[in-house]
């Protein structure tokens, strides 16, 4: 009797572990940051920063708006698919429980930035320190499911993506003329401040167990349809925001390499999304785009004013537009960016591209 009970327990434990192992076969994936990678957390919040009505999601497998700021998949989805993982669910989605925790989680929230005051106008968003707090809670729940050691290992071997910085400019420093932050700091000093605050956030992620973190810089913020609509007579990018992007991105690369040096390991990978994106802005036709200036969905000059809504003018061939709405790239532009993250040269990826990292990490097991 005693023996058969032990046997039964062992069998159940074994079956459970097998099941868990097969689910966790792909590497776990954790996502932090803003609307470029939010997969629907803001749907669960009372905020104005949301993408939960059509035509958002028109090219998504379900053809429904999910909260992604894209016509289809966003960057987080495309990266998880390309590393053989299932897209992680938004942390606030009630379906994220039980064995689904093993896939990872997406903590990103549209509108947030590096600074706590960025995005205050959207009222209820998950600021980055709150995202880290949720990551802590997640790890506690994961430990209850698979044990403390296993949970630690899952987090250590996961891939992490973080995308921050754009909103600290467009939704803070340059939100209104004479903003609080622009009266407090000259642009170069603001960038230095942002980078030093970002360093603390990344250090914290490492302290919480992240060991491979893909960090994307900002895109060419001065070239997005929203900025063209406000600042451009002839379609030229707004120099002020272009300067901000170039200062921020170059200091970000330096900060990441200094962090890696301090940690004695290539934990942080810098993705130069600005240069990836500038390739289409300078020569859209070479990539099969008809325009890099006009958004597919919107209204006004360059389709760059206001939100993308059911009442907006909508292009018919989404794949030929670099921009889906006035700030966010189309799914097809995002696919090209993700391809560069995977296999790009050192012009785009420092110290190495993601496929190299995946090969190194899988050979360590």
Give the catalytic positions in this structure.
Answer: 35, 325, 328
- CB under 6 A: which stretch of 1-9, 96-104, 251-259, 348-356 binds ligand NAG? 348-356
Of 39, 6, 161, whose CA–CA distance to 110 is shortest?
39
Q: How far is the CB of 341 from ligand NAG (least distance, A)?
A: 10
Of 171, 162, 293, whose CA–CA distance to 234 is shortest?
293
- On whether the CB atoms of residues 210 and 157 are closer than 8 A, the answer is no
Q: Spell out, one character per residue from 232 to 261, where the chain touches ligand NAG: x when CB under 6 A holds, - when not.
A: ------------------------------
* End-to-end Cα, the chain, rounded Å: 40
- CB under 6 A: which stretch of 8-16, 47-55, 241-249, 347-355 binds ligand NAG? 347-355
Q: Spell out, one character per residue from 305 to 334, where the chain touches ligand NAG: x when CB under 6 A holds, - when not.
A: ------------------------------
- On whether the CB atoms of residues 104 and 90 are closer than 8 A, the answer is no
Other residues' Cβ atoms within 10 Å of the Cβ of residue 227: 23
Nearer to ligand NAG, 345 or 363 (CB): 345
Nearer to ligand NAG, 23 or 352 (CB): 352
Give percent helix, percent strand, percent coil of the chain, each to the nearest 5: 50, 10, 40
If binding is defined by CB under 6 A, does position 353 make contact with ligand NAG?
Answer: yes
159 three-state secondary structure: strand
- CB under 6 A: which stretch of 16-24, 39-47, 72-80, 351-359 binds ligand NAG? 351-359
Nearer to ligand NAG, 82 or 355 (CB): 355
Q: State which of residues 62, 345, 362, 363 lies at the interface with ligand NAG (CB under 6 A).
A: 345
Other residues' Cβ atoms within 10 Å of the Cβ of residue 217: 25
If binding is defined by CB under 6 A, does position 275 make contact with ligand NAG?
Answer: no
If binding is defined by CB under 6 A, does position 82 make contact with ligand NAG?
Answer: no
Q: How far is the CB of 201 from ligand NAG (least distance, A)?
A: 9
Q: Spell out, one character per residue from 113 to 152, where the chain touches ligand NAG: x when CB under 6 A holds, - when not.
A: ---x------------x-----------------------
Of 354, 330, 60, 111, whose CA–CA distance to 216 is shortest?
354
If binding is defined by CB under 6 A, does position 356 make contact with ligand NAG?
Answer: yes
Q: Please list every residue from 191 through 230 that binds ligand NAG, using CB under 6 A.
A: 197
149-155: long-range contacts, CB 8 A cutoff, minimum separation 24: 152/209, 154/24, 154/28, 154/102, 155/28, 155/30, 155/208, 155/209, 155/210
Q: How far is the CB of 168 from ligand NAG (least distance, A)?
A: 11
Per DSSP (E only), the strands in the chain are: 29-33, 104-106, 159-163, 213-216, 268-271, 297-298, 313-314, 349-350
- On whether the CB atoms of residues 330 and 319 are closer than 8 A, the answer is yes
Q: How far is the CB of 117 from ligand NAG (least distance, A)?
A: 8
> What backbone torsions phi and psi does residue 316 show, to the nearest 5 degrees?
-95, -30
Nearer to ligand NAG, 179 or 355 (CB): 355
Please give the residue ranges that form the binding site for ligand NAG (CB under 6 A): 116, 129, 197, 343, 345, 352-353, 355-356
């Amino acid at each position: 009797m005693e023996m058969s009970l032990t046997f039964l327990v062992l069998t159940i434990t074994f079956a459970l572990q097998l099941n868990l192992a097969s689910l966790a076969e792909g590497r776990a994936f954790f996502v932090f940051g803003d609307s470029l990678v939010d997969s629907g957390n803001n749907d669960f919040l009372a905020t104005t920063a949301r993408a939960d009505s059509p035509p958002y999601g028109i090219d998504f497998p379900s053809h429904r708006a999910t909260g992604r700021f894209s016509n289809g998949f966003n960057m987080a989805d495309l990266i998880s698919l390309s590393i053989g993982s299932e897209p992680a669910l938004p942390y606030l989605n009630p379906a994220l429980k039980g064995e689904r925790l093993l896939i990872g989680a997406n903590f990103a929230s549209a509108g947030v930035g590096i600074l706590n005051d960025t995005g205050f106008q959207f009222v209820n968003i998950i600021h980055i320190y709150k995202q880290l707090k949720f990551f802590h809670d997640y790890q506690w729940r994961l430990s209850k499911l698979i044990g403390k050691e296993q949970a630690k290992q899952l987090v250590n071997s996961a891939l992490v993506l973080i995308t921050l910085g754009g909103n600290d400019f467009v939704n803070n420093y340059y939100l209104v003329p004479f903003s609080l932050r622009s009266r407090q700091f000259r642009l170069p000093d603001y960038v230095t401040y942002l980078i030093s605050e970002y360093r603390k956030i990344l250090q914290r992620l490492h302290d919480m167990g992240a060991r491979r973190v893909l960090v994307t810089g900002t895109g060419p913020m001065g070239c997005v349809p929203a900025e063209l609509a406000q600042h451009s007579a002839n379609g030229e990018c707004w120099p002020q925001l272009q300067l901000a992007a170039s200062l921020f991105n170059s200091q970000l690369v330096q900060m990441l390499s200094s962090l890696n040096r301090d940690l004695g390991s290539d934990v942080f990978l810098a993705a130069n999304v600005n240069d990836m994106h500038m390739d289409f802005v300078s020569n859209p036709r070479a990539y099969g785009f008809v325009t890099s200036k006009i958004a597919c969905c919107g209204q006004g000059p360059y389709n760059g004013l206001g939100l993308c809504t059911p009442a907006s003018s909508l292009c018919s061939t989404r794949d030929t537009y670099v921009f889906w709405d006035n700030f966010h790239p189309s799914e097809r532009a995002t696919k090209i960016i993700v391809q560069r993250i995977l296999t790009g040269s050192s012009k785009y990826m420092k110290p190495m591209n993601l496929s190299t990292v995946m090969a190194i990490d899988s050979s360590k097991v």
